Amino acid sequence: MAERKKNNNQTPPPQPPKNPFAGGNKSAGKKDPKGPKFNAYWVYGIIALVFIGVQYYLTSSSGPVETNWSEVRSTMLANNDIERIVVVNEKKANIYIKTSSLQKYEQEFTGKYTTPAEGGPHFTFTIGSVETFERNLREAQEGSLDEILPEYREERNWAGEILWTIGPFVLIILLWVWIFRRMSRGPGGGAGGIFNVGKSQAKVFDKDQKVTTSFKDVAGLAEAKQEVEEIVEFLRNPAKFTKLGGKIPKGALLVGPPGTGKTLLARAVAGEASVPFFSMSGSDFVEMFVGVGASRVRDLFKQAKEKAPCIIFIDEIDAIGRARGKNS
């Protein structure tokens, strides 16, 4: 009995310590409430498919089979199989075969890209010029009793002409839209793009994206936490210090090697004080163009004043005062 009672009074085994960095990403498992975003590339893809489909319809519909003048002269005219010849737009000649002679050419119709209609035209070929075609046709029909005189017709494919006229301009406009959209979120201007290259690139965590990190998530750093807790208390109750003539420091410098928790501590200060938190890197202020960095600094503090009181965290601030040049 004594042994059993002694076992019951034993303290439970120590639990493994919680990951101090687990609290900084609580929203990682949450689904995006906004849902899938609209992608403009689907629109461009649909337009391209429609363009290809219309072009395929215009070129692959029923039509005459391609041939040449030598075949027409040696076979069709020689066997008197042609009913009439129609010259279209002075560029090509359409051949209409007699109904009684269609069976001779059924083998040529099968397996072709286009299939001629039952009433014709059945064959077509390109002529060099009208004068040359008429001369060759007369020479080929010398001595024939049933001489065929060519007919002339003007045809306009309005759909094809409009498509080929407007299509390139539409593609150019879409290309320009794509280029401007890429430039608007390119690396030269960050979120603002090349047109807002002087705007601040700081990530803002405010009431819409509340900072949930607290001092409990920061392991160790007791002395550093004690120092910044005074800043948190001033942000919570500024009147308590101003009555005594106290002033909050303009800033705090967190110094240490990478991975020691400087960024986490700054987020914890903003989370404890429940104020907006601006976070950006010092390298964002350094650009190859003169004046861009200064413009971003002015824009950053302008946004911060609009959301005051708030906290601005600049990571790797030593990059701002670095001299230019390869050897520096």
- All residues at 6 or more sequence positions from 310 whose CB lies less than 8 Å from its CB, including other chains: 270, 275, 276, 277, 278, 304
Percent of the chain whose pLDDT exceeds 90: 10
204 and 144, same structural domain?
A: no
The reply to whether 53 falls in a domain is yes
Number of Cβ within 10 Å of residue 156's Cβ equals 8
pLDDT confidence of residue 20: 39
Check residues 147 and 157 and name the one with the higher pLDDT.
Answer: 147
pLDDT confidence of residue 239: 82
222 and 294, same structural domain?
A: yes
The reply to whether 274 falls in a domain is yes
Q: How far, CA to CA in Å, does 100 sit from each of 20, 79, 96, 268? A: 93, 12, 12, 94
Q: Are 270 and 311 in contact (CB under 8 A)?
A: yes
- Name the domain count of the chain: 2
The pLDDT tens digits for 211-236 are 777 888 888 778 888 888 887 888 77
**How far is 227 from 88, CA to CA, in rounded Å?**
91
Mean residue pLDDT across the chain: 74
Residue 147 burial (CB < 10 Å; 0-12/13-18/19+)?
A: exposed
- What domain range is 70 assigned to? 36-184
Domain boundary (132, 161, 184) is at 184
- The CATH number covering residue 212 comes to 3.40.50.300
Strands (E), the chain: 65-66, 82-88, 92-97, 123-126, 151-153, 203-205, 277-281, 311-315
303 and 222, same structural domain?
A: yes
**Residue 4: pLDDT band with limits 50, 70, 90:** very low
Burial 178-203 (b: 16+ CB within 10 A, else e): eeeeeeeeeeebbebbeeebbbbbbe
**Residue 112: pLDDT band with limits 50, 70, 90:** low
208 and 153, same structural domain?
A: no
The pLDDT tens digits for 50-103 are 877 776 666 555 678 889 999 999 999 988 899 999 999 888 999 999 888 888
Backbone angles phi, psi at 152, to 5 degrees: -125, 140
The pLDDT tens digits for 119-134 are 778 899 999 889 999 9
Tell me the mean pLDDT in the region 149-166: 81
What is the length of the chain?
A: 328
pLDDT confidence of residue 322: 60
169 and 42, same structural domain?
A: yes
pLDDT at 190 over 50: no
The reply to whether 127 falls in a domain is yes
- The CATH number covering residue 152 comes to 3.40.1690.20
Number of Cβ within 10 Å of residue 67's Cβ equals 18
**Residue 265: pLDDT band with limits 50, 70, 90:** confident
pLDDT confidence of residue 60: 56
Best mean pLDDT range from 90-99, 157-166, 288-297, 312-321: 90-99
The reply to whether 233 falls in a domain is yes
pLDDT confidence of residue 94: 92
Check residues 192 and 303 and name the one with the higher pLDDT.
Answer: 303
**How far is 188 from 195, CA to CA, in rounded Å?**
9
Tell me the mean pLDDT in the region 155-183: 79
The pLDDT tens digits for 13-54 are 555 444 433 444 444 444 444 555 666 677 777 877 887 777
